[in-house]
Amino acid sequence: MKIGCHISIAGGIVNAPQRAADLGCEVFQIFTRSPQGGPAPKLTEEVVQEFKKEMEKHGQANCYIHAPYYINFASVKEATRKSSVRIVREELERGSLIGAKYVMFHPGSSTSLTASSAGKIGEKEILKITASGVAKVLDGYNGTTELLLEISAGAGEVIGDTFDELAQILKLIKSQKLYDTMIYHKIGICLDSAHMFASGYDVKTKDGFRKTMETIKKTVGLDKIKLIHANDSKIELGGRKDRHDHIGHGKIGENGFVNLMSAFPNIDLICETHHDLVEKDIAKLKKIRDN
C-alpha cells in the first residue's frame, strides 16, 4: 500500500511529481486536462520523457488520472455521450503515454434522461446506455492504463452510487458485442470512503464494515477493487451528499480508515482533501498503515 493525494498540474504535468514528494506522497493523482472543459494540453515526447524522469527522481511509485467532471455516459444527448466516450478514451491513451496505472471516472447522472420528452426511462435502460458507452471506450484499446468506475455519493439521480449498480454495469459491459475478454480485465472499481459512507455503506463501525465487505464480495467482487480515495465525510452515514473532510475530522473518523486499510492492505490510497491539511492527512494514513 502506498499513500498520496491529488496534485495540481499548474505549469504542466512535469511539475506534479515534485509537488507530490513535497507533500509526502508515495503515489499521486492528477487531471491531465482541465476538469471543467477545454482542450487537453499536448503530451509531446519531450514532456512524457521529462515526466518519467521526474517520477523516478522524486520517488513516486505510480500516478493515477481522474477524468474530467463533465463526463456523462447517461446523458439524453447523444453528443454528450459520444464526447464522454472520446474524452475517457483519450485519457486512457494519455495515461498509457505517461505510464499512469489507472484512469477513474464517475459514470454520470440520469437526470437528463428521466426528464426527456420520451418520458421516464427505467433504471435498467439507463444502466444499459451507460455500459454501452463504457464498452465503446474500451473497444480496440490496447494501452497499459486501466479504467476504474468510481462509486458515487448518491446525490440526485447519479449513476453508480451502489455496488449493485456498479456490478450491473460491469456485467452489461461484459455482455456488449464490443466486449473483448482481454479488455474486460482492464476495468475495475475505485472506492471512495466518503462516497460510500454518504451512500449508506458503513465503513466506520466493525459490524457495519463487515456488512459492507460482504456486499462488495457479493456484487463487484474484491478482485475488482483497484484503488481507494481516502476521504473523511462531512455528511452523516446515508446523507447522500459529496462533502469531503480531513482524515479523523469527519463523521467516519480514523477507525474507519483502520478498517479499510486492514481489509485492503495492498491497495493504494489517494486523499482528495483540501491542501491546507492534506500533508497531515497523508501522515495520519501512513501512521495507521505502519502500526
| Residue 262: Cβ within 10 Å count | 11
Domain ranges of the chain: 1-34+46-58, 59-290
- Give the Cα separation of 168 and 170 in Å (integer): 5
Angle at 271 between CA 266 and CA 275, to 5 degrees: 150
Tally the C-alpha atoms within 13 A of residue 146's C-alpha that lie toward its C-beta: 18
More confident residue, 263 or 117: 263
Beta pairing class for 102-105 and 146-150: parallel
pLDDT, the chain, mean: 92
- Give the Cα separation of 31 and 9 in Å (integer): 7
Q: Over the stretch 43-81, which tens digit does the pLDDT of each residue have?
A: 999 999 999 999 999 999 999 999 998 999 988 888 999
pLDDT at 177 over 60: no
> Amino acid letter at 14?
V
Using CB atoms within 10 Å of the CB of residue 286, give its burial: 0 to 12 exposed, 13 to 18 middle, 19+ buried. Answer: middle
Q: Which residues of 89-127 are buried (b: 16+ CB within 10 A; e: fewer)?
A: bbbbebbbbbebbbbbbbbbbbeebbeeeeeebeeeebb
In sequence order, the β-bridge partners of residue 188 are 148
Q: How far is CA 150 from CA 47, 177, 201, 236, 258, in A?
A: 28, 24, 14, 20, 21
- Give the Cα separation of 20 and 226 in Å (integer): 21
pTM here? 0.93
Q: Over the stretch 97-123, which tens digit does the pLDDT of each residue have?
A: 999 999 999 998 876 444 444 445 677
Q: Considering the domain 59-290 in this protein, what is its CATH number?
A: 3.20.20.150
pLDDT at 181 over 80: no
- Give the Cα separation of 85 and 75 in Å (integer): 12
Q: Which residues of 171-193 are buried (b: 16+ CB within 10 A; e: fewer)?
A: ebbeebeeeeeebeebbbbbbbb
pLDDT band, residue 178 (cuts 50/70/90): low
C-beta separation of 190 from 102 below 8 A:
yes
Q: Over the stretch 132-165, which tens digit does the pLDDT of each residue have?
A: 999 999 988 999 999 999 999 877 678 899 999 9
Max CA separation in the chain (angstroms)? 57
pLDDT of residue 229: 98
Among the residue ranges 107-116, 201-210, 216-225, the one predicted with the least confidence is 107-116
Cα-Cα-Cα-Cα dihedral sign, residues 97, 100, 102, 103 = negative
pLDDT of residue 112: 47
